[in-house]
Structure 1
């Protein structure tokens, strides 16, 4: 059994010349949760959105070992300081595996996004391998004016094998109370999960959650016409796109298309465009 934690915090750089930029104030990793700063990537709808008011810091989470394995207890804490911006991703997909003694594994994620700050949390695909017993619990608090993009993807078992026991809960709160609270359960401990009310026999599922007090772009529900995809308005600038797919490639294409539609500003002021 492994018990580990990692901490990440950002803040606005003091008196930066020119455009505001974000600096990393805390970066602490505990094996196997390894946080690494990364170089700016090519512009995408997500990175452009994150850099709307300040240049974003970019950090990726790298797994220092296989798993999580049954019995592991992992915790990730993230604080995005007021006015700063962070793009947080992962290096590779996460493969959930059973442990030697059949215990449960847990990933506990706690995120606080300060006033006027922006976070794009883009974890890679989670693969619930046969025999795993895992839960991910993500809690996010948004201060006034904070913006959030959260992408999630899960594959229900590797090719030709049944799905392991997988449970995922995401809760987002604002000063007005809960904005979003959803739990997904799949595998042997969730009878009927593969039926029409949940996975409908599809191999993969994903969501894209966008919270933006000043949204822009094509947000009409009619723009997402695939029968396995739905867009829901959450209020307060929140939107949730959910999709089921026969494979992970199809799922990622749908989520990328949704990000382009929901995050791209038709008329971005030139002074605010990232360089």
Structure 2
């Protein structure tokens, strides 16, 4: 970690494997600086970990990385203790937040962090890469809130890439806030809403029984992806409504 000249550099690493007794062990659970990992009470054979922000941020110039690997027969649920808040900092450079997820065949990962809030004056680029085996399972949720109450958003760029069995099934980008390409707040993108989210669900059974594309209430849509995966996208006026839409979508998928 180096906060002297270029902002804070911090990495958290998480590894899950079968314990051989029907449960999940966590041989790798390492965090540094503002990224702390805490094991909490799991459910059945699924381990549970919380990502705890020990400091504010990311600030301008910071670069955070979170890596998680789930091996065969392991089951893991990862959440976060609170929202991630992108803030302006002393450095003129933008901040980066990279997430790298690997899920093996026969493994399961529920990646369900709290929302990311883009504060006025901040500049953050988020990238999430998920590699899932052809027989792996993934539930991945992303929620982004543009500005706090009564506040304009900062600059926020996000990219989400999902591979299943080595094949790219999703590669999408979104840029919002000052300096983003024109039209990001228009009817073709956010339509004036200030909360946007994605839910990616990968299940082997989707290969033979793909989901049907359909609307899921006001502001959410479900779409099949190439391969055993589905995507829900949603926009809402606030974080609470967005979470309700995504929760309802996950329930709808069963």
TM score, norm. by length of structure 2? 0.92
Corresponding residue of 2:24: 22
**Where in structure 2 are the equivalents of 1:58-207 lying within 5 Å?**
58-190=48-180, 191-207=182-198
Q: Does 1:249 align with 2:249?
A: no
In the TM superposition, what is the alpha-carbon distance from 1:220 to its structure 2 partner?
A: 4.7
Corresponding residue of 2:16: 10
In the TM superposition, what is the alpha-carbon distance from 1:35 to its structure 2 partner?
A: 0.5
CA distance in 2, matches of 1:165, 1:151: 21
> Does structure 1 conserve the Cα–Cα contact (< 8 Å) formed by 2:60 and 2:91?
yes
Structure 1 residues 134-167: Cα deviation after superposition (integer angstroms, max 9, x where no partner): 0111111112201110111111111111110001
In the TM superposition, what is the alpha-carbon distance from 1:95 to its structure 2 partner?
A: 0.9
Corresponding residue of 1:213: 204
Q: Does 1:34 align with 2:36?
A: yes
In the TM superposition, what is the alpha-carbon distance from 1:9 to its structure 2 partner?
A: 0.2
In the TM superposition, what is the alpha-carbon distance from 1:249 to its structure 2 partner?
A: 1.1
> C-alpha root-mean-square deviation of aligned residues, in Å?
1.9
CA distance in 2, matches of 1:220, 1:143: 23
CA distance in 1, matches of 2:49, 2:209: 26
Corresponding residue of 1:224: 216
Which secondary structure does the structure 2 equivalent of 1:250 belong to? helix
CA distance in 2, matches of 1:145, 1:39: 26
Question: Unmatched 5+ residue regions in structure 2?
Answer: 1-6
Which secondary structure does the structure 2 equivalent of 1:101 belong to? coil
> Does structure 1 conserve the Cα–Cα contact (< 8 Å) formed by 2:131 and 2:166?
no
Which secondary structure does the structure 2 equivalent of 1:39 belong to? strand
CA distance in 2, matches of 1:204, 1:124: 13
Corresponding residue of 1:269: none
> Does structure 2 conserve the Cα–Cα contact (< 8 Å) formed by 1:205 and 1:243?
yes
> Does structure 2 conserve the Cα–Cα contact (< 8 Å) formed by 1:217 and 1:261?
no
Which secondary structure does the structure 1 equivalent of 2:204 belong to? coil
Which secondary structure does the structure 1 equivalent of 2:241 belong to? helix
CA distance in 2, matches of 1:162, 1:225: 27
